[in-house]
Amino acid sequence: MDFLDQMAKKISTGTNLASKKTDELIASAELKMTISKMENEIEDAIYQLGESMFNSFASNNIMSVNEIQLKCKEIQRMYKGVARLKKNYNSYKGLVGCRACGADVEEGFRYCPSCGNKLY
């Protein structure tokens, strides 16, 4: 993903330390915004899939399994994209994603403060 590469560059390059810090902050804020935007898009896509499935039922023109699978695969691809961005963001921020509940936990915690899952 080009966007990801750009983000990685923004985070890792820069000569002046002060402007580098600023660039990093901006890049991390942009990344966070992109993640939540993509999460909203996933939610919309799932809603739309449900709506078209229901409409197809209501209009007696039921969607084929292929059509449904295609849409599900697209949503799955979006999930994977978000997961990749989140991983980047977390490693930049020094956060660890809890495998049980998905909470972002600061590095150094042995247990997740949200759900108590053992992290290490």
Binding site for Zn ion (CB under 5 A): 98, 100-101, 103, 112, 114-115, 117
- Least distance (Å) from Zn ion to the CB of residue 87? 16
Closer to Zn ion at the Cβ: 55 or 114? 114
Write down the least CB distance from residue 89 to Zn ion, Å. Answer: 17
Report the candidate in 47, 31, 35 with the shortest Cα–Cα distance to residue 78: 35
Around Cβ 7, how many Cβ atoms within 10 Å?
A: 20
Closer to Zn ion by CB, 21 or 118: give it: 118
Instruction: Report the chain's C-alpha Rg in angstroms.
Output: 19
Q: Where are the alpha helices (DSSP H) in 59-110?
A: 65-93
Least distance CB 104 / Zn ion (angstroms): 10
